[in-house]
A and B are shown apart, each in its own frame.
Chain A
Amino acid sequence: MEKFLSATMLMPLLINQEFAEQLIDRFLKASDHQKQKIIEDASELNQKPIVQEFHFPTKATKTKNKLRHFEGYATATETVLGKAGFIKKEVEMEMSLIEDIEGRFEFILQCDEDSGYIVACKVTPELRGKGLFSTMVGAITRYCFNELGLSSVSGSARPPRDESQ
Protein backbone atom coordinates (compact mmCIF):
# COMPACT_ATOMS: atom_id res chain seq x y z
CA MET A 1 0.00 0.00 0.00
CA GLU A 2 1.36 3.44 -0.93
CA LYS A 3 2.15 5.87 1.85
CA PHE A 4 -0.01 9.01 1.88
CA LEU A 5 2.22 12.08 2.12
CA SER A 6 0.44 15.16 3.41
CA ALA A 7 1.61 18.73 3.99
CA THR A 8 0.47 18.33 7.60
CA MET A 9 3.43 15.95 8.06
CA LEU A 10 5.74 18.69 6.83
CA MET A 11 4.42 21.66 8.79
CA PRO A 12 5.71 20.71 12.28
CA LEU A 13 9.20 20.41 10.78
CA LEU A 14 9.09 23.98 9.46
CA ILE A 15 8.36 25.92 12.63
CA ASN A 16 10.28 29.25 12.62
CA GLN A 17 11.52 28.68 9.05
CA GLU A 18 11.51 31.86 6.99
CA PHE A 19 10.86 30.06 3.71
CA ALA A 20 8.31 27.53 4.97
CA GLU A 21 5.50 28.82 2.77
CA GLN A 22 7.51 28.49 -0.43
CA LEU A 23 8.49 24.93 0.50
CA ILE A 24 4.89 23.94 1.22
CA ASP A 25 3.91 25.29 -2.23
CA ARG A 26 6.60 23.17 -3.85
CA PHE A 27 5.56 20.16 -1.76
CA LEU A 28 1.95 20.38 -2.92
CA LYS A 29 3.05 20.33 -6.57
CA ALA A 30 5.64 17.57 -6.12
CA SER A 31 5.51 13.88 -7.05
CA ASP A 32 5.28 11.30 -4.25
CA HIS A 33 8.99 10.57 -4.61
CA GLN A 34 9.86 14.28 -4.33
CA LYS A 35 7.48 14.69 -1.38
CA GLN A 36 9.25 11.89 0.45
CA LYS A 37 12.62 13.55 -0.19
CA ILE A 38 11.31 16.94 1.03
CA ILE A 39 10.06 15.37 4.28
CA GLU A 40 13.40 13.60 4.79
CA ASP A 41 15.36 16.83 4.23
CA ALA A 42 12.98 18.86 6.41
CA SER A 43 13.42 16.41 9.28
CA GLU A 44 17.13 17.34 9.28
CA LEU A 45 16.42 21.05 9.79
CA ASN A 46 16.29 21.04 13.57
CA GLN A 47 19.03 18.51 14.09
CA LYS A 48 22.49 19.19 15.39
CA PRO A 49 25.15 19.65 12.68
CA ILE A 50 26.75 16.36 11.62
CA VAL A 51 30.46 16.35 12.38
CA GLN A 52 32.64 15.52 9.38
CA GLU A 53 36.15 16.01 10.69
CA PHE A 54 37.96 16.98 13.88
CA HIS A 55 40.93 19.35 13.84
CA PHE A 56 43.10 19.39 16.94
CA PRO A 57 46.70 20.52 17.38
CA THR A 58 49.32 17.80 17.83
CA LYS A 59 50.71 19.57 20.90
CA ALA A 60 48.54 19.92 24.00
CA THR A 61 47.26 23.40 24.81
CA LYS A 62 47.63 22.67 28.55
CA THR A 63 47.80 19.83 31.06
CA LYS A 64 45.82 20.09 34.28
CA ASN A 65 44.46 17.62 36.84
CA LYS A 66 45.96 14.66 34.94
CA LEU A 67 44.15 15.69 31.76
CA ARG A 68 45.78 16.90 28.56
CA HIS A 69 43.76 19.58 26.73
CA PHE A 70 43.76 20.21 22.98
CA GLU A 71 41.72 23.19 21.84
CA GLY A 72 40.52 22.86 18.25
CA TYR A 73 37.45 22.66 16.10
CA ALA A 74 35.29 20.34 14.03
CA THR A 75 33.92 20.87 10.58
CA ALA A 76 30.29 19.86 10.30
CA THR A 77 27.39 20.08 7.91
CA GLU A 78 23.90 21.24 8.72
CA THR A 79 20.77 21.43 6.61
CA VAL A 80 19.22 24.87 6.25
CA LEU A 81 16.19 25.97 4.26
CA GLY A 82 16.85 28.76 1.81
CA LYS A 83 14.50 30.46 -0.64
CA ALA A 84 15.41 27.96 -3.38
CA GLY A 85 15.29 24.88 -1.17
CA PHE A 86 17.51 22.87 1.14
CA ILE A 87 21.19 23.69 1.43
CA LYS A 88 23.91 21.65 3.12
CA LYS A 89 25.95 24.28 4.86
CA GLU A 90 29.43 23.70 6.25
CA VAL A 91 30.05 25.08 9.72
CA GLU A 92 32.98 25.12 12.13
CA MET A 93 32.43 24.43 15.81
CA GLU A 94 34.95 25.03 18.59
CA MET A 95 35.73 21.86 20.51
CA SER A 96 38.10 20.57 23.15
CA LEU A 97 39.75 17.18 23.09
CA ILE A 98 40.62 16.03 26.60
CA GLU A 99 42.96 13.06 27.06
CA ASP A 100 43.76 11.21 30.25
CA ILE A 101 47.56 11.53 30.74
CA GLU A 102 47.71 7.78 31.45
CA GLY A 103 46.08 7.13 28.08
CA ARG A 104 43.06 5.33 29.54
CA PHE A 105 40.28 7.44 27.98
CA GLU A 106 39.53 10.58 26.02
CA PHE A 107 36.52 12.77 25.33
CA ILE A 108 35.57 15.63 23.05
CA LEU A 109 33.42 18.44 24.39
CA GLN A 110 31.59 21.34 22.84
CA CYS A 111 30.72 23.97 25.40
CA ASP A 112 28.87 27.23 25.70
CA GLU A 113 28.72 29.46 28.77
CA ASP A 114 26.43 27.28 30.86
CA SER A 115 26.28 23.81 29.34
CA GLY A 116 28.34 21.29 27.46
CA TYR A 117 27.81 18.49 24.97
CA ILE A 118 29.83 15.27 24.85
CA VAL A 119 30.51 14.95 21.13
CA ALA A 120 32.50 11.74 21.54
CA CYS A 121 34.17 9.75 24.27
CA LYS A 122 35.93 6.45 24.54
CA VAL A 123 37.84 4.20 26.84
CA THR A 124 41.01 2.96 25.11
CA PRO A 125 39.97 -0.29 23.38
CA GLU A 126 42.68 -2.46 25.05
CA LEU A 127 41.49 -1.32 28.49
CA ARG A 128 37.78 -1.92 28.03
CA GLY A 129 36.01 -4.18 30.50
CA LYS A 130 38.21 -2.97 33.39
CA GLY A 131 35.67 -0.62 34.95
CA LEU A 132 37.16 2.55 33.47
CA PHE A 133 33.86 3.89 32.16
CA SER A 134 32.99 5.36 35.57
CA THR A 135 36.50 6.82 35.85
CA MET A 136 35.98 8.57 32.52
CA VAL A 137 32.54 9.89 33.54
CA GLY A 138 34.07 11.14 36.81
CA ALA A 139 36.74 13.01 34.84
CA ILE A 140 34.06 14.52 32.59
CA THR A 141 31.96 15.71 35.53
CA ARG A 142 34.94 17.11 37.47
CA TYR A 143 36.20 18.98 34.42
CA CYS A 144 32.77 20.32 33.39
CA PHE A 145 31.46 21.24 36.83
CA ASN A 146 34.56 22.10 38.89
CA GLU A 147 36.77 23.62 36.24
CA LEU A 148 34.33 25.07 33.70
CA GLY A 149 31.46 25.73 36.14
CA LEU A 150 28.82 24.36 33.76
CA SER A 151 25.36 23.50 35.08
CA SER A 152 24.92 20.43 32.86
CA VAL A 153 26.60 18.37 30.21
CA SER A 154 24.56 16.27 27.84
CA GLY A 155 25.25 13.52 25.36
CA SER A 156 23.78 10.72 23.37
CA ALA A 157 24.12 7.01 24.09
CA ARG A 158 23.79 6.18 20.41
CA PRO A 159 26.52 3.74 19.33
CA PRO A 160 29.31 5.46 17.35
CA ARG A 161 28.82 5.62 13.58
CA ASP A 162 32.32 4.34 12.90
CA GLU A 163 34.38 2.90 15.72
CA SER A 164 37.59 3.08 13.68
CA GLN A 165 37.56 6.90 13.56
Chain B
Amino acid sequence: MRERALQDQLQTGEEVILTRLHQLWLSQPYAVHSRVLGIDDEDGFALLSPKHLAGLPIDEIANLDKYHPKKEENSFVYLMEQKGAVA
Protein backbone atom coordinates (compact mmCIF):
# COMPACT_ATOMS: atom_id res chain seq x y z
CA MET B 1 0.00 0.00 0.00
CA ARG B 2 1.31 3.43 -0.87
CA GLU B 3 0.90 6.35 1.48
CA ARG B 4 1.10 10.01 0.69
CA ALA B 5 3.95 11.56 2.62
CA LEU B 6 3.34 15.30 2.47
CA GLN B 7 6.79 16.19 3.75
CA ASP B 8 8.54 14.08 1.19
CA GLN B 9 8.71 16.67 -1.50
CA LEU B 10 11.98 16.19 -3.27
CA GLN B 11 13.89 18.83 -5.14
CA THR B 12 11.60 18.67 -8.15
CA GLY B 13 8.75 19.93 -5.99
CA GLU B 14 6.71 16.92 -7.06
CA GLU B 15 4.80 15.11 -4.37
CA VAL B 16 6.35 11.72 -3.76
CA ILE B 17 4.24 8.75 -2.77
CA LEU B 18 6.03 6.21 -0.61
CA THR B 19 5.28 2.66 0.46
CA ARG B 20 5.82 1.76 4.12
CA LEU B 21 8.88 -0.29 3.16
CA HIS B 22 10.31 2.68 1.28
CA GLN B 23 9.64 4.94 4.28
CA LEU B 24 11.43 2.44 6.51
CA TRP B 25 14.53 2.54 4.27
CA LEU B 26 14.46 6.33 4.06
CA SER B 27 14.26 6.64 7.85
CA GLN B 28 17.65 4.92 8.19
CA PRO B 29 20.91 6.84 8.71
CA TYR B 30 22.48 8.19 5.48
CA ALA B 31 19.51 7.09 3.33
CA VAL B 32 18.14 9.26 0.53
CA HIS B 33 15.51 8.82 -2.16
CA SER B 34 16.99 7.78 -5.53
CA ARG B 35 15.63 10.92 -7.14
CA VAL B 36 18.05 13.00 -5.08
CA LEU B 37 20.79 11.31 -7.11
CA GLY B 38 18.92 11.86 -10.36
CA ILE B 39 17.83 8.22 -10.65
CA ASP B 40 14.19 7.97 -11.68
CA ASP B 41 13.18 4.92 -9.65
CA GLU B 42 10.07 5.56 -7.60
CA ASP B 43 10.97 2.75 -5.18
CA GLY B 44 14.68 3.48 -5.10
CA PHE B 45 16.92 4.63 -2.29
CA ALA B 46 20.62 5.03 -1.68
CA LEU B 47 22.82 5.03 1.40
CA LEU B 48 25.51 7.69 1.13
CA SER B 49 28.95 7.30 2.59
CA PRO B 50 29.68 9.74 5.45
CA LYS B 51 33.05 10.43 3.78
CA HIS B 52 31.22 11.47 0.61
CA LEU B 53 28.80 13.66 2.61
CA ALA B 54 31.65 15.35 4.48
CA GLY B 55 32.53 17.12 1.23
CA LEU B 56 29.09 18.76 0.94
CA PRO B 57 28.29 22.28 2.17
CA ILE B 58 26.16 22.48 5.34
CA ASP B 59 23.21 23.91 3.38
CA GLU B 60 23.04 20.84 1.21
CA ILE B 61 23.24 18.51 4.20
CA ALA B 62 20.44 20.45 5.89
CA ASN B 63 18.42 20.19 2.68
CA LEU B 64 18.73 16.41 2.77
CA ASP B 65 17.07 16.50 6.21
CA LYS B 66 14.35 18.79 4.92
CA TYR B 67 13.44 16.30 2.20
CA HIS B 68 13.98 13.19 4.33
CA PRO B 69 12.45 13.75 7.75
CA LYS B 70 14.08 11.25 10.12
CA LYS B 71 14.43 10.81 13.87
CA GLU B 72 16.96 13.33 15.17
CA GLU B 73 19.63 10.68 15.80
CA ASN B 74 19.36 9.56 12.17
CA SER B 75 19.31 13.05 10.65
CA PHE B 76 22.15 14.03 8.34
CA VAL B 77 23.10 17.15 10.31
CA TYR B 78 23.21 15.23 13.61
CA LEU B 79 25.25 12.37 12.15
CA MET B 80 27.70 14.71 10.46
CA GLU B 81 28.04 16.78 13.65
CA GLN B 82 28.88 13.60 15.54
CA LYS B 83 31.64 12.97 13.03
CA GLY B 84 32.86 16.55 13.39
CA ALA B 85 32.24 17.17 9.71
CA VAL B 86 29.84 20.11 10.18
CA ALA B 87 30.99 23.44 11.57
A interface vs B, CB < 8 Å?
133-134, 137-138, 140-141, 144-145, 150-159
Contact A152 B41 (CB under 8 A): no
> What is the interface of chain A mostly: helix, strand, loop, or mixed?
mixed
Contact B49 A150 (CB under 8 A): yes
Q: How many residues of B contact A (CB 8 A)?
A: 23
Contact B49 A157 (CB under 8 A): no
Contact A159 B21 (CB under 8 A): yes
Chain B residue contacts of A145, Cβ below 8 A = 49-51
Contact B24 A133 (CB under 8 A): yes
Contact B25 A154 (CB under 8 A): no
Chain B residue contacts of A152, Cβ below 8 A = 37, 46-49, 52
User: A159 CA to B31 CA in the complex, in Å?
Assistant: 18
Contact A157 B28 (CB under 8 A): no
In the complex, the number of residue pairs spanning A and B with C-beta atoms less than 8 Å apart equals: 56
Chain A residue contacts of B51, Cβ below 8 A = 145, 151
Chain A residue contacts of B28, Cβ below 8 A = 134, 137
B interface vs A, CB < 8 Å?
19, 21-22, 24-25, 28-31, 34, 37, 39, 41, 43-52
User: A133 CA to B31 CA in the complex, in Å?
Assistant: 14
Chain B residue contacts of A150, Cβ below 8 A = 49
**Of B22, B37, B48, B50, which is within 8 A of A157 by CB?**
B22
| A-B CB proximity, top 4 nearest | A157-B22, A154-B46, A151-B52, A145-B49
Interface centre among B24, B37, B39, B46 (most CB of A within 10 A): B46
Q: Smallest CB–CB gap between B40 and chain A, Å?
A: 11
User: A151 CA to B49 CA in the complex, in Å?
Assistant: 5
User: A155 CA to B52 CA in the complex, in Å?
Assistant: 18
For residue A160, which residue of chain B has the nearest CB?
A: B21
Contact A144 B47 (CB under 8 A): yes
Chain A residue contacts of B52, Cβ below 8 A = 151-152
User: A144 CA to B49 CA in the complex, in Å?
Assistant: 8
For residue A115, which residue of chain B has the nearest CB?
A: B46
Assuming A137-B28, A156-B41, A157-B19, is B48 touching A151 (CB within 8 A)? yes
Contact B43 A157 (CB under 8 A): yes
User: A93 CA to B81 CA in the complex, in Å?
Assistant: 38
User: A133 CA to B28 CA in the complex, in Å?
Assistant: 9
